[in-house]
Amino acid sequence: MLKISYPHLGDYHIPIRRLLQDLFPMAEIMPAPPFTQKTVELGARHSPDFVCAPFKYNMGNYIESLEAGANVLLQTGLGCRYGYYGEVQEQILRDLGYDFTFLCFSREKASPQNIYKACKKINPDLTFSVFSRVVLQTLLRLYCMDQLEYFLRERIGFAKSPNHFTSAKSSFLKEFLDTCSTPEIWGIYKKYKKYYHSIETHMPSDPLRVGIIGELYTLMEPYSNHFLEKQLAKGGIVVSRKMSASFLLFGKRDTRSLRCSKGYLQYTVGANGVDSVAGSRQYVKTGYDGLIHMKSFGCTPELNAQPALEQISRDYNIPILHLSFDTQTSETGLETRLEAFMDMIEMKRKQRNEKIRQPGSRHRFHLHKRRIY
Amino acid sequence: MKIGLPKALLYYRYGVLWETFFRELGFDVEVSANTSKEMLDMGTKTTLDENCLPLKIFMGHVQSLIGKCDRILVPRFSRVSKAEEYCVRFWGLPDIVQNTFSDAPMISYNLDLGWRGNEAAAFIKMGRALGKEKSVSFQAYCAGCRAQQQQDQELLRVQSMQMRTSGKKILIASQPYLIHDAYMGTQLQKMIVKQGVIPLFSDRCNRRLCRALSKEISSGLYWSLNKEMIGAIELCKNQVDGVILLTAFPCGSDALVNELVLRRVRDVPMIQILLDEHTAPAGLETRIESFTDILTKRRPYA
């Protein structure tokens, strides 16, 4: 019996689960057990010391799902260090004595033909038409999910009844898992979009807004950033984050990002460094109050981009909070920094508002007075 | 006009090429001094604490050249071929320098995936930025390449002669900018020599052969420098008595590659030494001593 497992990344385990179910109807699909402190500790114990945190999180996921009985593991890989994860992780797991098949689609191996061949090996009944249909449907699912998520992130802090959005989201994901045809997916997306819009909020006309930029995994896996977005939303702040799976698949264009970050970056700096800089520039131009830059410890592309971000912060006078996460990050320390940051942007906003003269206010322009030194 | 070359990172690989190129074009060349404690401190102050040690050293070198030269060479290396590239750190070097020192007069060339002879085109472009004609730059580049090749072959010959001598030998497998750095690697070399052991270097092996041999250890590796490093281990493991994996904190590519090497290469004694800003010579010496002791006491395989 095939038991296919894969590491977590936010809520994306749901569309991936559906994808694998459609590709391999005879196999049991089991996403890795949910994150706990134990997962992180397990992962950190069996990983090299100063590898970036996503490696450790993935490792923890793999070990726990192997313990739960999985025998096929999935991994992908892109630029930067992520492309080399698969080979090292496989070796470490084999040294630990586990027996499994490791499917790694990294870098050049991630071409559609290659993935199709690998899937065909596991499920000989698979045809290319089914494969392509299922993959396209998954892309659509990812798109729909990310669209709704983006809306939700901006509103969730202002709902009149606090759990309204969370319950709507969980029922949406539940229904989403059972959809099988393309019109159905689109129908559910439309339905929930309407529903989300109908949820009452008490959003002020000019709320504080924070943009989130940085490294992919840390942004997309809420456990790895200690549910930072939730904390921000609790403080009554609009949270905006463009980086998501669908951004990677459909929206990432290096030339465009480079054009957008002109004056700060001349070349690409690996992975999503350019997108961070371009994103921060866009947030600045659309009048955001602050930016939060997140990465895992030692993430080279983001470190390459960081001098440019600091330059932007100086030039446009916008506060940027740089956060670096590892498996050892303390929650309290993070909370303190976040609270201080939120207070700071609020104060900054107040200062700015005080300078704006309201019509009819008592303070007049003292044009006739002249200071004599 | 005076061109400054920071004596860090890939200077240890392309230094002769750069020097000859600029000399042929008729410029003065100033190479920064050997890495010292002060230089490292300067670099540590200007970069973020999370950055890797070689970058901190590099920034120290760049800062020491500011004000002394009219231009400072900060090249960018990204992809070499479809399956090979440099560490992401090299991708961002010009931008890091430009954003950290806004007053640094920088000159750069970009080595990116493209057509054959890409490097020559990049050098010609750099020559044009300095106001030189295409043909002049190309000739200078060719002369530089010849000089670099000559030196590489000379070093290769010396190393292969050392390889044939009797006596204990240790291969230092690492990036060239760690092995030959005056503050980091040279110190280690001296300690090894003091123990009566001959140090060999992974960057002074036949590069093409190393790249091909690296597939024996890891098939999916795509970092150029690491490929040569592990290829050298595969190439020399029967001729040396031990291997030292030298790495800097927190080197991104080494973290993964060394882990794999330590797990896969079982037939030669191996030790991993991690360098950072606070490495004490005494601690390093103890480790080297005990490692060489193990090598001498170790019984050969029956």
Convert the pLDDT of each residue in B21-38 to its tens digit: 999 999 999 999 999 999
Element containing residue B212 per DSSP (H, E): helix B207-217
Q: CA of B228 to nearest chain A CA: how many angstroms apart?
A: 16
Q: Is residue B254 a contact partner of residue B177, using CB atoms and an 8 Å limit?
A: no
B132 lies in the same domain as B15? yes
CATH topology classification for A3-126: Rossmann fold (3.40.50)
The domain that holds B268 is classified in CATH as 3.40.50.11900
B143 lies in the same domain as B78? yes
B118 lies in the same domain as B33? yes
Q: A304, B92: Cβ pair inside 8 Å?
A: yes
Over residues B62-115, the pLDDT tens digits come to 999 998 999 999 999 888 888 888 999 999 999 999 999 988 888 988 888 655
What ipTM was predicted for this assembly?
0.91
Task: Using alpha carbons, select from B101, B87, B149, B121 the residue that is nearest to residue B4.
Answer: B101
Quickly list DSSP for B253-298: HHHHHHHHHHHH--SS-EEEEEE-TT--HHHHHHHHHHHHHHHHHP
Residue B273's beta-bridge partner residues? B246
Mutate to test the interface with A, among B63, B86, B95 (most CBs of A within 10 A): B95
The yes-or-no verdict on residue B274 having pLDDT over 60 is yes
Distances (CA, A) of B4 to A254, B1, B28, B83: 31, 10, 9, 32
Q: CA of B168 to nearest chain A CA: how many angstroms apart?
A: 30
Q: Is B129 on the interface with A (CB under 8 A)?
A: no
Choose one of B102, B118, B147: the last residue of a domain: B147
Mutate to test the interface with B, among A106, A303, A312, A329 (most CBs of B within 10 A): A303
Distances (CA, A) of B50 to A59, A319, B298: 23, 20, 39
pLDDT on residue A106:
85
**A-chain residue closest to B93, CA distance:** A304
Q: Is B94 on the interface with A (CB under 8 A)?
A: yes
**A-chain residue closest to B217, CA distance:** A87
Q: In B, which residues are within 8 Å of A84 by CB distance?
A: 220-223, 253, 256-257
Q: Does some domain include residue B153? A: no
Question: Between residues 150 and 169 of chain B, which touch chain A (CB distance below 8 Å)?
Answer: none
pLDDT on residue A366:
57
Q: In A, which residues are within 8 Å of B223 by CB distance?
A: 84
Question: Which residue reads 């050969």 in tokens?
Answer: B300
Q: Is residue A232 a contact partner of residue A239, using CB atoms and an 8 Å limit?
A: yes
Per-domain residue ranges for chain A?
3-126, 137-203, 204-355
Of B94, B221, B259, the CB nearest to A48: B259
Q: Return averaged pLDDT per consecutive 10 residues of chain A, 373 residues in all.
A: 91 91 91 92 91 92 94 88 91 94 87 90 91 92 92 88 87 86 92 91 89 92 90 90 88 88 89 91 92 92 93 93 88 91 92 76 58 53
pLDDT on residue B302:
45
Q: Is B218 on the interface with A (CB under 8 A)?
A: yes
Q: Is B101 on the interface with A (CB under 8 A)?
A: no
pLDDT on residue A189:
93
d(CA B15, CA B9): 10
B256 lies in the same domain as B173? yes
Counted across chains A and B, CB pairs separated by less than 8 A come out at 114
Q: How many domains does chain B have?
A: 2
3-class state of residue A267 by DSSP: coil
B143 lies in the same domain as B204? no
Question: Which residue reads 């995994």 in tokens?
Answer: A217
Q: Does some domain include residue B156? A: no
Q: What is the pTM of this model?
A: 0.91
Q: In A, which residues are within 8 Å of B95 by CB distance?
A: 264-267, 269, 304-305, 307-308
| Mean pLDDT, residues B177-183 | 90
* Number of Cβ atoms within 10 Å of the Cβ of A47: 24
Q: Is residue A236 a contact partner of residue A318, using CB atoms and an 8 Å limit?
A: no
φ/ψ bin of A319: left (φ > 0), alpha (ψ from -120 to 50), beta (otherwise): beta
How remote is the C-alpha of B246 from its chain's centroid? 12
Of B51, B249, B260, the CB nearest to A91: B260
d(CA B285, CA B272): 14
Task: Using alpha carbons, select from A275, A244, A234, A240 the residue that is nearest to residue A151.
Answer: A240
Task: Give residue B147's pLDDT band: very low, low, confident or very high (50, 70, 90).
Answer: very high
Q: Is residue B262 a contact partner of residue B272, using CB atoms and an 8 Å limit?
A: yes
d(CA A153, CA A165): 10
3-class state of residue A136 by DSSP: helix
Q: What is the CATH code of the structural domain delimited by A204-355?
A: 3.40.50.11900
pLDDT on residue B118:
80
* Number of Cβ atoms within 10 Å of the Cβ of A96: 12
B90 lies in the same domain as B198? no
When mean pLDDT is compared across A160-164, B54-58, B175-179, B256-260, the lowest value belongs to A160-164
d(CA A232, CA B146): 59
Q: In A, which residues are within 8 Å of B249 by CB distance?
A: 50
Choose one of B114, B147, B180: the last residue of a domain: B147
B138 lies in the same domain as B175? no
The domain that holds B52 is classified in CATH as 3.40.50.11890
Of A84, A104, A297, the CB nearest to B50: A297
* Number of Cβ atoms within 10 Å of the Cβ of A357: 10
Give me the amino acid identity at A324: S
Of B91, B251, B263, the CB nearest to A304: B91
Distances (CA, A) of A37 to A57, A283, B209, B302: 10, 34, 46, 47
Q: B91, A84: Cβ pair inside 8 Å?
A: no
Q: B250, A308: Cβ pair inside 8 Å?
A: no
Q: B50, A303: Cβ pair inside 8 Å?
A: yes
**A-chain residue closest to B100, CA distance:** A307
B8 lies in the same domain as B131? yes
Q: In B, which residues are within 8 Å of A306 by CB distance?
A: 48
Residue B6 domain boundaries? 2-147
Of B88, B96, B100, the CB nearest to A80: B88
Burial A65-78 (b: 16+ CB within 10 A, else e): bbeeebbbbbbbbe
Handedness of CA A173, A177, A182, A188 (dihedral sign): negative
Q: Does some domain include residue B160? A: no
Choose one of B147, B175, B200: the last residue of a domain: B147
d(CA A372, CA B112): 62
**B-chain residue closest to A53, CA distance:** B252
Task: Using alpha carbons, select from B247, B256, B241, B239 the residue that is nearest to residue B205.
Answer: B239
Helices of type H across A159-299? 164-178, 182-198, 216-220, 228-234, 245-246, 254-260, 273-285
pLDDT on residue A195:
92
d(CA B96, CA B102): 10
For all residues of chain B together, what is the average pLDDT? 90
Identical fold between A3-126 and A204-355: yes
pLDDT on residue B300:
64
Q: Does some domain include residue B14? A: yes
Q: Does some domain include residue B155? A: no
Q: Name the token pair of B162.
A: 């050392």
pLDDT on residue B114:
58
Percent of chain B's residues with pLDDT above 90: 63
Q: Is residue A214 a contact partner of residue A294, using CB atoms and an 8 Å limit?
A: yes
Q: Name the token pair of A262.
A: 């002109």
**A-chain residue closest to B46, CA distance:** A307
Q: CA of B189 to nearest chain A CA: how many angstroms apart?
A: 25
Of A88, A269, A307, the CB nearest to B259: A88
Q: In A, which residues are within 8 Å of B255 by CB distance?
A: 48-51, 81
Which residues of chain A have a Cβ shorter than 8 Å from any chain B Cβ? 48-52, 55, 79-81, 83-88, 91-92, 95, 104, 106-108, 264-271, 273, 297-298, 300-301, 303-308, 310-311, 324
3-class state of residue A208 by DSSP: strand
